[in-house]
Amino acid sequence: MPPDDVRAAVRTLARLSRLLERGGGDLSLPQFRLLAMVEGGQRASFLADRLAVAKPTVTALVDGLVERGYVSRSQSTDDRRATQIALTSAGRKALKAAETEMAERLDGLLGRTSDQQTVLSALAALQAALEEAFQERMAGAGR
């Protein structure tokens, strides 16, 4: 069983995700996460792997974002079975607006901590750990 401080961290991160989602404007947190992962053009399968969700989940998210004009979907030029997802200008605007609002909410909360830089450094370390875990997962999957 995880130590109490790890369980407390899980609860804190869950509460923090809700705080951020309320700042996402008309984007849900899963939609925001997907938009933040689309750089140039990404394959839907890559996005599913990157977000650690099933491909049908990405398809449903993309369907909603295409309907709202935030992403475009096209056939991959190198593999006709693959789908490329790209941000539209409206998607970039929605992402920037949500990110700005979320950052303001987080900044307000960070202002209540005794050492903002330590918290930010810890979050950066978690981001690096997430990236490392993703790379290991992809290497293990033979990608």
In a shared domain, residues 94 and 137: no
Domain count across the chain: 2
Could you say which residues of the chain have pLDDT below 70? 1, 142-143
Q: If you search the block for the tokens 């049908």, which residue do you land on?
A: 56
pLDDT tens digit sequence for 71-97:
998 877 777 777 889 999 999 999 999
Joined together, the tokens standing for residue 114 give 């005794």
87 lies in which domain range? 4-109
In a shared domain, residues 99 and 136: no
In a shared domain, residues 36 and 94: yes
- CATH number for 61: 1.10.10.10
- Predicted TM-score (pTM) of the model is 0.82
Compute the C-alpha angle 114/116/121, nearest 5°. Answer: 130
In a shared domain, residues 83 and 36: yes
Q: If you search the block for the tokens 């290991």, which residue do you land on?
A: 136
